[in-house]
Structure formats: structure tokens, C-alpha cells
Amino acid sequence: MAVCFQFQSPLKPITFPSIRNQKKVEPVFTSVKSFAPATVANLGPGFDFLGAAVDGLGDYVSLSIDSSVSPGHVMISEISGSSKLSPNPLFNCAGIAAIATMKMLNIRSYGLSLKLEKGLPLGSGLGSSAASAAAAAVAVNELFGAKLGVDQLVLAGLESEAKVSGYHADNIAPAVMGGFVLIKSYDPLELKPLIFPQNRDLFFILVSPEFEAPTKKMRAALPAEVGMPHHVWNCSQAGALVASVLEGDVVALGKALSSDKIVEPKRAPLIPGMEAVKKAAIKAGGFGCTISGAGPTAVAVIDSEEKGKEIGQKMVEAFLEEGHLRSVAMVKRLDRVGARLIDSVPI
């Protein structure tokens, strides 16, 4: 027996809640700078409904009131860290999210100038597009007095994700909110933060090879139908994954994120050396390993930073030996804050 899935959501166009019935929204700063973290999506069996934010990696957006920009519009004045991104705000993750946030706030009297600093490589599996979108949405919101809640900011970022890599919130939700986030529903959008205990240590071992895995290409590799046994298995492991997060059980978390029988088996062969990297991570003492998002980054989990560095080195060696790819390993904590304001200039 097979269960049919449509992996590209056919949802109706996003409609934005606005505050247009309230008094006119005015800026409280002349300029702001925001940061949004990298994210690890899917976490094995949590495909499209579970993600986590990663500390110490991400994108920055600087935003300012600019009288030379037409009211109600955004101009991207500078992009650093990548030469591949379009400066047209209608085709740029940060621009799309900024415009969506302006619509929510009903901003029509001010033009904005935006600078994007990419700290994440494109097509890395670390939520690069979501980080740009989250930083932009938060920047616009903060510039005008932080009138919007996190759910609305996620919706603004989701408008960007839908146009760039598909209608999925497992990157943009944790990028905005921080921590682990469960997407309970897409229509309507319902988000559930999963609180990992403060007194427990969790480290992500992120190993990124010199290989690009575009999300759209990796989604195209997914099966149209899933056998009932694999469906039941993945559901049970997704439940175990959520339970392990809430309990702070890193060993169980690793076991669950290593258990996907639907998505990872289709994507891993498309990333040279990935299967060997997973084996190397677990053999070296990692509690579990899978593909981060659509890849090509591999993510393993452990409860010790020093041990994480050792595991990361073994994963790097496996990528080189089996996949003939050079890679870089990082050991990072969970980001519990999400996108935030880091600098501002008052009016």
C-alpha cells in the first residue's frame, strides 16, 4: 500500500494581515541593522515541518529611510558576500520579505534603502534564503516600532521562500523565532516552539562541502508515493524527535534524526560522499547524522564541543576520500533567540 504526497504545496496565495485600520505607522529609527541565524531544516524525519536555528552563523541586513527611494518601495543598494544575487528587490529574498513586511504595516509614505551582508553560502542547506528574508522582515518591523508579531514576520519571510525555494517554513520559522520550531499547519500557518532545556548541552556539527545543491533540484528528487511501512516509520521517528527535543535527550535526538527512510535515501546519493560521511560521523561518536535541509551540508549532533570537533574532522576526511570534495567543519550551539535587532540610529 502506498501513501501519496505532493511535496510542492498547492496552497492559495499568501494573504497578509495588516494594521491599516490603525493610525499611520511612523518610523522610530532612521536606520537599523538586524541579524538572522542559519537554520537546520528537516532534521531527518521532520521533512518540511521541523527546523532549528544555529548560533554564530547568519546574514545581516542594514535598512534606512531614504528620501531618494519612491514611497512604499525598497531599493537594494548593496550586496556583499555573494555575487550571484539580484539587486532587484522583486527577485531577492531580502527584498521580497521587506516588501511583504511593508505591506503588512501599510507603509506608503517612506522609501527604504537596504544593504544585505551574506554570511551564508547559497545552496548550502543552512537556510541561506531564509536568513536573508528573516533579517529583512525584522529590520523593517523594528524600523517602524516592532508592531508585528513573530507569526506575521514568518509569513512575510514565507512569501520570499515560496518564490525562491518552495512553500516551506522549516527554515524561516526558526530563523525568525530561534530554537526548535514545529510547523503544525500550513493552511492556516500554525507554529509551535519546542523548548530545548536550558541546562542541557547540544552542539550541531556542520560539515559543508564545496558542492551546491539547489533546493528546487533536491525537491525534484523526492518520491511521488511513499509505502505505508515507511510512512508509519517516519511518523513514529518524527514523534521521537519532538520528544527528544522537549526532554533534552541528545542521544535520542541523534538516533531519531538519523532514521529517515523517505527523503534522505533519495537525496544522499546526489551529494558525493554523503553516505560515507554519515557513517564516519556515527563511528566517531556522533549521536546521529543526516542532511541539513536540502544539502549538501551534513549535520551531526553531540553534547560536547571538543568531541564535536573530532567528529567534524572525520566527516571532512570522509567527504574528501569518498566524495572527492573539500569541506569545512563547524561546531555550533543552538540559537535560542532568532532574528534580532543589533544596531539602530534613533530619529
Q: Residue ranges per domain, the chain?
A: 29-194+335-346, 203-333
Q: What is the mean pLDDT of residues 7-26?
A: 56
Q: What is the mean pLDDT of residues 54-79?
A: 97
Q: Domain 29-194+335-346 classified CATH 3.30.230.10? A: yes
Short-list 112, 14, 56, CA closest to 305:
56
Q: Do domains 29-194+335-346 and 203-333 have the same CATH topology?
A: no
Percent of the chain with pLDDT over 90: 85
d(CA 344, CA 342): 7
> What is the predicted pLDDT for the residue at 131?
97
CA trace torsion 122, 123, 128, 129 (10° rounding): 100
> What is the predicted pLDDT for the residue at 213?
79
Q: Is the pTM of this model over 0.75?
A: yes
216/280: higher pLDDT: 280
Beta-carbon count within 10 A of 268 CB: 20
Q: What is the mean pLDDT of residues 105-130?
A: 95
DSSP for 263-315?
Answer: SHHHHGGGSTTHHHHHHHHHHTT-SEEEE-TTSS-EEEEES-HHHHHHHHHHH
Assess whether pLDDT exceeds 90 at residue 83: no
Q: What is the mean pLDDT of residues 36-48?
A: 96
> What is the predicted pLDDT for the residue at 24?
83
Max Cα distance, the chain (Å): 63
Specify the CATH architecture of the domain 203-333: 2-Layer Sandwich (3.30)
Mean pLDDT of the chain: 93
